[in-house]
């Protein structure tokens, strides 16, 4: 079993924290987390992949151990996050990689794919939505904010930043909540409680409307490039519904779609099953995944 290394990279003046495991000459998987978490959500998955793959999991700016610059000098938009993650891959010299996209990681990763489709070897979408039918009614308060970004609608969303809501996100749809470790959600709450973190998250809630507007572009990318794609979904997710997973097959008929009996944070309860599905999916495609050259070859 490969050990995980905890590192930081300077990306155009922004410090990006990341976890890395596995030999660098193996196929790379870039793990992109969602809200309100960080790369620690992959703490159980990384060791199960690192014996066969080079695994890299950054914290997005404003999340986890990465920098959270002041909003006055940093644009908290998904386009900007994607630009910095793209530069992060260049700083680390990740020329080709499979994307694991979850929640916020989906619009970030799919923007990378639009910008550089030649770098993407495969996509694993774990509750990473790209279709309007995947959005549940749980988005209605945020939709109201998109339509009317008033202070009242902004303040109404602060309930989504409380410990009670974080716990609910982790446990909703889970058959046995005692299987959900408190390590993840309590660390998320710590990061959310930092001064200014609430305003960063509210900015991103507002900007998420631009992700939905880009769904047609993402879908065109799927149809045009047909990346190998595995959608593995916690079927009880209160935010991203199973139809969002099934929709991938409309644009990529060869896409593999699987469901696990869990909620939004399916890795908390089904990391073994998800790791097995990823390994099987990528192993079947090794012939078409570009491999890094050995040093000196």
**Which amino acids are annotated catalytic?**
264
Residue among 138, 129, 134, 82 nearest 106 (CA): 129
Q: Which tokens is 112 given?
A: 């990378």
Cβ pair 174, 268 in contact under 8 A: yes
Contact between residue 198 and residue 154 where contact means Cβ atoms under 8 Å apart: no
Q: How many C-beta atoms surround the C-beta of residue 214 within 10 A? A: 18
Strand, coil or helix: 93: coil
Measured in whole angstroms, how far is the alpha carbon of residue 64 from the centre of its chain? 13
Question: Long-range contacts for 15-19 (Cβ within 8 Å, ≥24 apart)?
Answer: 15/66, 15/67, 16/58, 16/59, 16/61, 16/66, 16/67, 16/84, 16/88, 17/58, 17/59, 17/64, 17/65, 17/66, 18/56, 18/57, 18/58, 18/59, 18/88, 19/46, 19/55, 19/56, 19/57, 19/58
């Amino acid at each position: 079993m490969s050990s995980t290394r905890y590192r930081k990279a300077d990306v155009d003046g922004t410090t990006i924290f990341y976890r890395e495991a596995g030999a660098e000459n193996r196929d790379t998987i870039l793990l992109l987390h969602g809200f309100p978490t960080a790369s620690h959500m992959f703490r159980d998955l990384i060791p199960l992949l690192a014996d066969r793959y080079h695994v890299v999991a950054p914290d997005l700016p404003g999340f986890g151990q990465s920098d959270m610059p002041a909003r006055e000098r940093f644009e908290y938009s998904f386009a900007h996050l994607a630009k910095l993650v793209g530069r992060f891959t260049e700083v680390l010299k990740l020329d080709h990689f499979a994307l694991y996209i979850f929640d916020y990681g989906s619009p970030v990763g799919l923007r990378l794919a639009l910008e550089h489709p030649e770098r993407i070897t495969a996509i694993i979408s774990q509750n990473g939505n790209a279709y309007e039918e995947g959005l549940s009614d749980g988005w209605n308060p945020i939709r109201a904010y998109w339509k009317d970004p008033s202070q009242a609608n902004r303040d109404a969303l602060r309930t989504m930043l409380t410990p009670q809501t974080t716990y609910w996100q982790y446990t909703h749809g889970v058959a046995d909540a005692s299987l959900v470790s408190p390590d993840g959600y309590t660390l998320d709450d710590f990061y959310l409680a930092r001064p200014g973190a609430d305003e960063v998250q509210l900015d991103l809630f507002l900007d998420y409307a631009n992700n939905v507007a880009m769904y047609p572009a993402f879908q065109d990318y799927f149809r045009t490039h047909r990346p190998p794609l595995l959608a593995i979904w916690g079927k009880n997710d209160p935010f991203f519904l199973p139809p969002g997973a099934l929709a991938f097959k409309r644009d990529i008929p060869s896409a593999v779609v699987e469901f696990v009996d869990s909620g939004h944070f399916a890795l908390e309860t089904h990391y073994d099953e998800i790791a097995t599905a990823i390994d099987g999916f990528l192993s079947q495609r090794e012939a078409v995944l570009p491999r890094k050259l050995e040093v000196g070859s």
